[in-house]
Amino acid sequence: MRDVNDARRRFLKVCGKAALSAPAVAAGLSVPYSWALEDAPRTRLVDASGAPLKASALKVHENWTFQYPWLSVPVLMIRLDEPTVKQALMYGKGAEPYYWPGGVGPDRTIVAYVAICAHLLSYNAPEVSYLTYHKARNRLTRHGRAITCCAHGSVYDPAVGGQVLAGPAKHPLAAVVLEYDKETDGLTATGIVGTDLHRKFFRAHRRELRKTYGRKDWRRKVEDTTIAMPLKEWTKLMVRC
Ligand code: FES
């Protein structure tokens, strides 16, 4: 079973690779985000009734979803069974490195990623979802405890910033920055970091997004709240591979 030390070892490996490829930033922590949405909304996660979502409502290893920072951008949220690293320096092919701020919640186990694949932009939608977290090894890639895009088998590590573990993707998943309030057990999305794919995504899937989210709303930012729910309740088909 993977343990915290294993996660730490992999974190050091991530930092080590970045240090080799980007010596100018290796000495300090002032690495710019490759993409950090400047006007990202501060958006509280609520349940379907509109009540603040409690982190304790998330079952370990269950796939959850919400929309952020645009109404048509799906996010995959998971509560892992062990704490993540506190911070990881991430890099993608040809992109600036950036910091992923780690998991949140009472045990630093809750993580959230934009559910748009960095390979060819397959994504999660009410009709069908291609990106899911699975604890068990899957048949296609033999990876477990991972997020897999079953369109072509890209595998991402949810415990280390969504870094690519296998498959054709060349960039980590973009990550949603979450804030945890231990007084209320609530969760708030405050930003997004990673490789900026949203313009390509909007261009590639414009027609479906307009149909699903409405001609006026599909590019609207979410506001004060966004509804979070188990992925299986939001989508008709979770593709497994
Ligand atoms: S679109 Fe996800 S693996 Fe190709």
Distance 197 CA to ligand 1 centre (A): 13
CATH number among 3.30.300.30, 2.30.30.100, 2.102.10.10, 3.90.245.10, domain 4-234: 2.102.10.10
Collapsing DSSP states into helix, strand and coil, what is residue 160? coil
**Would you give the DSSP letter of residue 53?**
P
Query: Across the strands, what pairs with 164?
Result: 156
Single-letter residue type at 7: A
**Would you give the DSSP letter of residue 83?**
P
pLDDT tens-digit profile of 63-72? Answer: 999 999 999 9
Residue nearest to atom 3 of ligand 1 (CA): 152
Distance 154 CA to ligand 1 centre (A): 6
Distance 167 CA to ligand 1 centre (A): 8
From the alpha carbon of 149, which atom of ligand 1 is closest?
Answer: 2
**Would you give the DSSP letter of residue 95?**
S
* Domain locations in the chain as residue ranges: 4-234
Alpha helices in the chain (DSSP H): 4-21, 23-26, 198-213, 231-234
pLDDT tens-digit profile of 158-177? Answer: 999 999 999 999 999 999 99
Single-letter residue type at 211: K
Distance 110 CA to ligand 1 centre (A): 24
Beta strands in 20-86 (DSSP E): 43-46, 63-67, 74-79
pLDDT tens-digit profile of 170-200? Answer: 999 999 999 999 999 999 999 999 988 999 9
CA distance 202 to 180: 30
C-alpha pair distances (Å), 60 with each of 2, 133, 230? 15, 11, 12
Give the count of beta carbons closer than 10 Å to the beta carbon of residue 16.
12
The pLDDT of residue 173: 96
Give the count of beta carbons closer than 10 Å to the beta carbon of residue 48.
11
Query: Across the strands, what pairs with 45?
Result: 226
CA distance 30 to 20: 16
CA distance 49 to 35: 33
| Ordered per-residue pLDDT tens for the chain, 241 residues | 343 334 334 433 443 333 333 322 333 334 445 677 778 899 999 999 999 999 999 999 999 999 999 999 999 999 999 999 999 999 888 778 889 999 999 999 999 999 999 999 999 999 999 999 999 998 888 899 999 999 999 999 999 999 999 999 999 999 999 999 999 999 999 999 998 899 999 999 999 999 999 999 999 999 999 999 999 999 999 999 9
Q: Which of 184, 144, 181, 151 is nearest to 168 (CA)?
A: 151
CA distance 67 to 235: 13
CA distance 8 to 185: 26
From the alpha carbon of 154, which atom of ligand 1 is closest?
Answer: 3
Mutation to probe ligand 1, out of 149, 156, 200 (largest number of atoms < 8 A from CB): 149
The pLDDT of residue 96: 81
Widest CA span in the chain: 50
